[in-house]
A and B are shown apart, each in its own frame.
Chain A
Amino acid sequence: MRTVNRFESNLLRILHCLMGQSKRNQVMGLLERPLRWPVGLSRGAIELVEDSLAKGTVRMLTRSGAWQRERHLRGDEVREGPLWKRSKPEDLGLKFSPASLDFLVWLTATDISDRTKIWSPIAPREIDDRGKDLASREKPNSRIGDSRIGDSSTGDSSTSDSSTSDSSDQALTSDDQTLESGDEFLCYLAARMMRGTSVAHHWMQGEAMMRNPLIALMLPDQFAVARVSPEPDFDPWMAGPRSFLLEAMQEDLSRAWVGIEKQKAEITRISDMVRLGNVQEKVLSALMDSAERHGRRDLCRFLVEALGALVSPDSNRKEWIGALDTTGKRISQRTMAYENASAFLRFGARLRNWQQASSSIGFFDEGYAESQLWKSIWEESEAEVAVAEADRVVSSLQY
């Protein structure tokens, strides 16, 4: 049994909420009435954080879709099965750096409604300023270890690999400000928890959120509302643990984009529509460019599925611009609004180009496995029909 102090207890409750184990309103009080930044955290608290991260991420990603029997690329091969069968368990670990712990401490010690505060990953000099006392305490602080998606057949859903405790303040020092895969996932969970609130809109202005590809993919509308242009770099997400996140979250991604498109029917202001369309265009262009460069079009399967769920022979332009107020607006403003309303649908043409390119790749050509996988995704999703319907709606939105 471990004993934690009040700060650590609040931190753990917030973490459990991020992990989906409680509702936002159960921790809002903790987030709005912060406690003083601690001198240090106990060993027991660190271990509980590690344990929550390890088990929580495994549980969340398994529920999201890691359990699904899917096909994805591994090098030049197509592998089928749940995520832990497609890759070795030891390769699946999400890495959490000290930045994750810093973020959790920041959430617990900061009044999130304070608009002057935005979290940023710790730099070594900041650690020294805050962490000098940490170094001098007898009780050491250990480094956050790895969380892994394990083999469900053994019933052991996670392993947590904590390093041995290290009393030097280097244990909480980041070498640089680059976030690890687990850190980015944690940031995404926080943004998701606060979605739709002014807090989230404020957080989107921070670099950590702006550059987070998972937030850009799952919550592009939050950037639009915050009037911030995200800057995601998807290249690191085309391989390794980050790509496994995308694989596991294909259904979540599809649902997110369908939801965002359906929201457009309620948008009244042209400026709001234009901002949303711009963000969508930027994010999807960056994702698809990266997928092309790295031969990972399979990671864009959710786009095909979202299109299929959105459009039908009965779809009409009102579902995108039905509430848009164009009274007294110039034609140029209206066309800009309509173009942005159809921002997502227009990517159907690019997906079709992928299909056509895939059909021309021969057995001995580079990218054969990728092309075959894409063709099967296309056929199983009946994407040809969906893209044709999307084209029809796009045409109806043109002047």
Chain B
Amino acid sequence: MSRAYRIRVSETLREVVRAEDHVRSQLEMLDILPSDQMADLLSAELVKRGFERVGDTAVRVDDGTKVVVDLKESTVTVSRETSKEVKVSEQRTGTAWDDMGPSEKETKERLQKELVSDLKEDVQERQRELQQEVTDQLESQLSDLRLELDQAVNRATAEALKQKAAQIGQIKEVTEDPESGSMTIVVEV
């Protein structure tokens, strides 16, 4: 008479999953003054907004999002990365008979292999979820960041125009309209 063996296997997988996303864009800086002076003006505006000057870049890390402005190239790179330890466990059971079919050992190996494969798939799924989370978080911050950087660029440009005007002659009057963002400089030459 054949005997049936109930085989139970369990496995735990512990892995660190990482997710990263970034976007790089060009800032529209006009060459009103020489590039190093424009870089300094932009840097000054960014420092007011919580950035730190590091060589030719200005850097800010805000709630896990890193913003790096390359002052020479007038580019901005926004990146976010995170990692998380994931632990997944599962059990699997199967049956083997002593007189036919795969042996107990073979059944156990097969179950183990399937289990590990499924757990790895679970880990990958967690990684995809984490990745989507990072992408969504980054995307949600981009529009506010774009606005903020545009403002910084506009202020730097306005300051550059004032300095340029002062080189041409004596500034008599400066009027700025915050609503339209326009600026009028009257210069006596």
Chain A residues proximal to chain B, CB less than 8 Å: 328, 330-332, 335, 398-399
| Docked-complex contact A335 and B23, CB < 8 angstroms | yes
Question: Which residues of the other chain, B, contact A332 by a CB distance below 8 angstroms?
Answer: 21-23
Contact of B21 with A330 in the complex, beta carbons under 8 Å: yes
* B131 adjacent to A330 (CB under 8 Å): yes
Q: Which residues of A contact B132 (CB under 8 A)?
A: 328
Q: Which of B46-54, B98-106, B135-143, B150-158 contacts A (4 or more CB under 8 A)?
A: B135-143
The 6 closest A-B pairs by CB, nearest first: A330-B21, A331-B23, A399-B23, A332-B22, A331-B21, A335-B23
Which of B22, B26, B128 is the one whose CB lies under 8 Å from A331? B22
Taking CB atoms and an 8 Å cut-off, the chain B residues in 43-70 that contact chain A are none
- Give the docked Cα–Cα distance between A331 and B26 (Å): 16
B84 is an interface residue with CB less than 8 A from chain A = no
Chain B contacts of A330 at CB under 8 A?
Answer: 20-21, 131, 135
Minimum CB–CB distance for A138 against chain B, Å: 70
Residues of B near any A CB (own CB < 8 A): 20-26, 128, 131-132, 135, 138-139, 142
Contacts of A328 in B (CB 8 A): 128, 132
Q: Which residue of B lies closest to A329 (CB)?
A: B135
Are A331 and B138 in contact, CB atoms less than 8 angstroms apart?
A: yes
Contact A398 B21 (CB under 8 A): no
Q: Show 23 residue pairs from A and B whose CB-CB distance is below 8 angstroms, ordered by the A residue.
A: A328-B128, A328-B132, A330-B20, A330-B21, A330-B131, A330-B135, A331-B21, A331-B22, A331-B23, A331-B135, A331-B138, A331-B139, A331-B142, A332-B21, A332-B22, A332-B23, A335-B23, A335-B24, A398-B25, A398-B26, A399-B23, A399-B25, A399-B142
Nearest A residue to B28, CB-CB: A395
Distance between Cα atoms of A310 and B131 in the complex (Å): 37
Contact partners of B24 in chain A: CB under 8 A:
335
A110 to B67: give the CA distance in the assembly, Å: 58
Cα distance A332–B20 in the bound complex, in angstroms? 9
Find the B residue at minimum CB distance from A328. Answer: B132
Q: In whole angstroms, what is the CA distance A331 to B20 when docked?
A: 10
Query: Complex formed: what's the CA distance from A117 to B22 in Å?
Result: 43
Bound CA span A325–B135, Å: 16
Expressed in whole angstroms, the Cα–Cα distance for A330 and B132 within the complex equals 8
Separation of A23 and B142 alpha carbons in the complex (Å): 53
A-B contact sample (14 more), CB < 8 A, given A331-B138, A331-B142, A332-B22: A328-B128, A328-B132, A330-B20, A330-B21, A330-B131, A331-B21, A331-B22, A332-B23, A335-B23, A335-B24, A398-B25, A398-B26, A399-B23, A399-B25
Looking across the interface, which residue of chain A has its beta carbon closest to that of B142? A399
Cα–Cα distance between A80 and B179 once the two chains are bound (Å): 54
Which chain A residue shows the least CB distance to B138? A331
Give min CB distance, B132 to chain A, whole Å.
Answer: 7
Q: Give the residues in chain B near A331, CB-CB below 8 Å.
A: 21-23, 135, 138-139, 142
Q: Please measure, in the bound complex, the distance between the C-alpha atom of A330 and the C-alpha atom of B26, giving whole angstroms.
A: 19
Q: In the complex the two chains form, what is the Cα distance from A335 to B135 in whole Å?
A: 12
Query: Which residues of the other chain, A, contact B128 by a CB distance below 8 angstroms?
Result: 328
- For A398, the closest partner residue in chain B by CB is B25
Which residues of the partner chain A approach B22 to less than 8 Å between Cβ atoms? 331-332
Q: How far is the CA of A328 from the CA of B21 in the complex (A)?
A: 12
CB distance from B137 to the nearest CB of A (A): 11
Q: Nearest chain-B residue to A334 (Cβ)?
A: B23
On chain B, the residues within 8 Å of A335 by CB distance are: 23-24
| Complex CA distance for A37 and B24, rounded to whole angstroms | 56
Nearest A residue to B131, CB-CB:
A330
Question: CA A332 – CA B21 in complex, angstroms?
Answer: 6
